[in-house]
Amino acid sequence: MEKLTVLVLDDEHLIALLVETALLEAGFSVVVEHDAASGMSQIKALGADLSALVTDIRLGSGSGWDVAKHARGMRLGLPVVYMSGDSAHEWAAEGVPKSVMIQKPFTVAQIVGAVTTLLNSESSLI
């Protein structure tokens, strides 16, 4: 089976690694970037091959809010999962619709669960 690609954006390398590992074990391809500008470039490079975005809010050279808006502008139904420690209260104003905000601390099982739930509901849109 062809694999689905998830872009993981986090400037904390350890968290990015833990999320990447859990997504790989769940059967996804994973691309990891550590700042907003590189994330934007990957979204452009991946194009239609991008299946989901998992992003921290505070990133070097930009915010996860901006990356998600940019990505949704290119692909309307893209599943978006935000991870955040202290920016969760901004989600109501800055998040994109039908996204999931996961507050730290969290387990990687929550990230995998959010990605698969969003992918499944995207598949079932009519």
The site for a copy of itself (CB under 8 A) is made up of 1-4, 14-15, 18, 22, 26-28, 69-70, 72-73, 76-77, 88-110, 112-114, 116-117, 119-120, 123-126
φ/ψ of 19, rounded to 5, equals -65, -45
Q: Which CB sits closer to a copy of itself, 59 or 67?
A: 67
Residue 101 CB, shortest distance to a copy of itself, in Å, is 5
CB of 85 to a copy of itself, least distance (A): 10
- Shortest CB 9 distance to a copy of itself, Å: 16
Question: Which residues are registered as beta bridge partners of 33?
Answer: 9
Asked if residues 35 and 10 have their Cβ atoms less than 8 Å apart, the reply is no
Closest distance to a copy of itself from the beta carbon of 46 (Å): 14
8-state DSSP, 96:
P
Closer CB to a copy of itself, residue 47 or residue 124?
124
Nearer to a copy of itself, 60 or 73 (CB): 73
Nearest to 63 by CA among 89, 94, 41: 94
Look at residues 27, 22, 37, 3 and name the one whose alpha carbon lies nearest to residue 83: 22
What is the rounded radius of gyration, in angstroms, for the C-alpha atoms of the chain?
13
Backbone angles phi, psi at 80, to 5 degrees: -125, 125
The residue (of 35 and 91) whose beta carbon lies closer to a copy of itself is 91
